[in-house]
Copies of this chain bind each other. A is one copy, B any other.
Amino acid sequence: MSTGIGSNGQTKLIRVPKTAELIADQLRSRIVRGVLKKGDALPTEVELVKQFGVSRPTLREAFRILESESLIVVRRGSRGGVLVSSPETSVAARSFGLLLQMSGTTLADLYAARKVLEPAAVEMLTQRKAPADVVDLKSAAGALAVLVNDGVDDADFHEWSAATFAFHDLIMERSGNNTIALVGAVLREVTTRHMARAVTTSTDHAEIEKQFKATIRAFTKLTNLIESGDAAGAKEFWTTHMDRAGRNMLWGDLANETVIDLFV
Taking Cβ atoms with an 8 Å cutoff, the residues of A that contact B are 1-3, 5-8, 11, 15, 18, 20-21, 25, 28-29, 32-33, 57, 60-62, 64-65, 67-71, 73, 85-92, 94-96, 98-106, 109-110, 112-113, 116-117, 120, 177-180, 182-183, 186-187, 260, 262-264
Given A28-B263, A96-B92, A112 contacting B65 (CB threshold 8 A): no
Q: What is the CA–CA distance of A100 and B92 in the complex, to the nearest angstrom?
A: 11
Report yes or no: B99 in contact with A87, Cβ–Cβ below 8 A.
Answer: yes
- A254 CB to closest chain B CB, in angstroms? 16
Chain B residues near A62 (CB, 8 Å)?
Answer: 64
Q: What is the CA–CA distance of A165 and B217 in the complex, to the nearest angstrom?
A: 43
Q: Could you list some 13 contacts between A and B, CB below 8 A? A: A5-B88, A28-B263, A29-B263, A32-B98, A61-B64, A87-B99, A91-B95, A92-B96, A100-B179, A109-B177, A109-B178, A109-B179, A116-B180
Given A69-B68, A179-B110, A264-B29, A102 contacting B116 (CB threshold 8 A): no
Report yes or no: B178 in contact with A103, Cβ–Cβ below 8 A.
Answer: yes
Chain B residues near A64 (CB, 8 Å)?
Answer: 18, 20-21, 61-62, 64-65, 68
Report yes or no: A101 in contact with B2, Cβ–Cβ below 8 A.
Answer: no
Q: What is the CA–CA distance of A86 and B98 in the complex, to the nearest angstrom?
A: 9
Chain B residues near A95 (CB, 8 Å)?
Answer: 69, 87, 91-92, 95-96
Given A65-B68, A95-B69, A32 contacting B89 (CB threshold 8 A): no
Indicate the member of A2, A92, A264 with the most B CB atoms within 10 Å.
A92
- A232 CB to closest chain B CB, in angstroms? 15
Chain B residues near A8 (CB, 8 Å)?
Answer: 85
Report yes or no: B98 in contact with A96, Cβ–Cβ below 8 A.
Answer: no
Report yes or no: B69 in contact with A105, Cβ–Cβ below 8 A.
Answer: no
- A126 CB to closest chain B CB, in angstroms? 15
Q: What is the CA–CA distance of A88 and B89 in the complex, to the nearest angstrom?
A: 18
Report yes or no: B112 in contact with A177, Cβ–Cβ below 8 A.
Answer: yes
Closest residue of chain B to A87 (Cβ to Cβ) is: B98
Indicate the member of A96, A180, A186, A264 with the most B CB atoms within 10 Å.
A96
Chain B residues near A11 (CB, 8 Å)?
Answer: 73
**A-B CB proximity, top 9 nearest:** A113-B179, A116-B120, A57-B57, A92-B95, A105-B178, A61-B64, A92-B96, A87-B98, A65-B68
Report yes or no: A182 in contact with B98, Cβ–Cβ below 8 A.
Answer: no
Chain B residues near A105 (CB, 8 Å)?
Answer: 178-179, 182
